[in-house]
Amino acid sequence: MSTTNSSAASAGAGRLGVAIVGLGGAVASTAVAGVALLRANQMKTTGLPLADFPAELTAQLAGYDDLVFGGWDLCPDDLAAAARHHRVLEPAQLAAAEAELSALRPWPAVGNVRFCRNVTGQHLLPVESHAAAVEAIRADLVRFREEQSLERVVVINLASTEAAPVLTQDLFLTPAAFEAAVQANDERIPPAMLYAYAAILEDIPYVNFTPSCAADAPALVRLAEARGVPVAGKDGKTGQTFLKTVLAPALRARNLHVDGWFSTNILGNRDGQALDNPESLASKLTTKGSVLDQILGYKVDSHVVHIHYYKPRGDNKEAWDNIDVEGFLGQKMQIKVNFLCRDSILAAPLVLELARLADLAKRRGEGGVMHALGGFFKSPMVTQAGTAPEHAFERQQAMLMAWLAAGVAETMPAAGPVRGAKTAVLASFSPATPTA
């Protein structure tokens, strides 16, 4: 459970820094360009999930115009060059955002080919130990806040997928053991954890949009709880798994038994290149494959998930699903879904919303795992190992609405002519949902 202090956030949040691990990637460059285009009135808010929420629920969030970007990448190219390389933006969009993108260059990053073999670079932090890397990351965050005159900062991991460490090992279980392992330069610690650790030590919210192990290590969950730092993740739920968590609850509601669910993807961007490595792919398949049994209430024996790197597609991902179901009188039926996605177009707006929500959680005095943000992820974080997260999308959406409504209610007077306002707000915006 996340911990909550009594103080509530106030509107007028001020400038919010968004420090991104993997700033030069397709998702990050698309998110930064999107904000630039919003500022210039060159695009609508279509695709931004919270833009359509009732204004009462989102008034306390930092505005899209208030987001200021920085971050790390293994490639030193400015974001205009990165955007041209990733080919997500239309030419007119790139031209409109180019001035802002070209002014933004990534900071040197932490890299480790042991955990991500297919994505390497030379734009590395000049450090020789984990402890030095953590201190350098913390210094970057302090400098970012000061140089940009920021009110607050959040850290979001958009880096390539890493091979997964074994989280049951002693060094990952307690904050003290993890700190000792950092000081000992233990080779089992992946880069994603170093960024998460640095953010938590700086009391900065941390969001893991990747399948990599980061703040979900038990040691870092405990540390985030103790310091009152919100953490959320992992692996953004954007395309195929999003549709899976929408369709599966409907099949359960109609008592149509799922005999098998075959899923396959092709993609050719940098994320796909990282996943062409078997160890990184295993991390991704773990997060994609865990949703059906929890939603349906039984094990789907023939649940198959494949991901293939196919360079010609670039950021244009394609996902196929074949669903075999059994209905009344034992009759067999099939459902076919073919989703031709734009990977970064689906992911970038979620990143922007997560930055705003994680910041609001911090201003509301909350710390630890943010269960209310689970709808954004394929593998939502939990507080206790072995606890099953909620995967059904409509229930996750209800949890988010309830969390936002509770924050609105906290800002209302407890007595007087609006005494019933809290109850009214919660009744209006909070569908019944189990607590995480």
pLDDT(300) > 60: yes
Residue 130 phi/psi, 5-degree rounding, is -60, -45
322-333 per-position pLDDT tens digit: 999 999 999 999
Top-confidence residue, 280 or 127:
127
Quick one: pLDDT at residue 309?
87
Quick one: pLDDT at residue 1?
47
| Average pLDDT score, the chain | 88
Report the distance separating Cα 229 and Cα 215, nearest Å: 11
pLDDT(3) > 80: no
217-252 per-position pLDDT tens digit: 999 999 999 999 999 999 999 999 999 999 999 999
Top-confidence residue, 152 or 285:
152
pLDDT(334) > 60: yes
| Residue 260 CB contacts under 8 Å (≥ 6 apart), including other chains | 300, 301, 302, 303, 304, 322, 323, 324
Question: pLDDT category, 419, cuts 50, 70, 90?
Answer: very low
pLDDT(78) > 90: yes
Top-confidence residue, 168 or 420:
168
- 218-227 helix and 175-183 helix, angle to the nearest 10 degrees: 110
83-114 per-position pLDDT tens digit: 999 999 999 999 999 999 999 999 999 987 78
- In sequence order, the β-bridge partners of residue 107 are 72
Q: Which one-letter amino acid corresponds to residue 99?
A: A
pLDDT(202) > 80: yes
Question: pLDDT category, 272, cuts 50, 70, 90?
Answer: low
| Residue 289 CB contacts under 8 Å (≥ 6 apart), including other chains | 303, 305
Quick one: pLDDT at residue 416?
44
Quick one: pLDDT at residue 282?
56
Mean pLDDT score, 263-276:
71
Q: Where are the domains of the chain?
A: 3-236+345-400, 242-342
Report the distance separating Cα 156 and Cα 355, nearest Å: 7
For the domain made up of 242-342, the CATH class stated in words is alpha beta
Quick one: pLDDT at residue 13?
65
Tell the CATH topology of 3-236+345-400.
Answer: Rossmann fold (3.40.50)
pLDDT(420) > 50: no
Percent of the chain, pLDDT > 70?
Answer: 85
Closest to 161 measured CA to CA, from 195, 190, 139, 182:
190
Question: pLDDT category, 370, cuts 50, 70, 90?
Answer: very high
In the block, tokens 């710390």 appear at 367
The pTM assigned to this predicted structure is: 0.88
Quick one: pLDDT at residue 435?
42
> Alpha helices, DSSP H only, in 73-127?
79-86, 91-102
Name the strand (E) or helix (H) holding 303: strand 302-309
- Nearest 5 degrees, angle CA 26-CA 123-CA 133? 105
Question: pLDDT category, 288, cuts 50, 70, 90?
Answer: low
142-172 per-position pLDDT tens digit: 999 999 999 999 999 999 889 889 999 999 9
Report the distance separating Cα 155 and Cα 208, nearest Å: 9
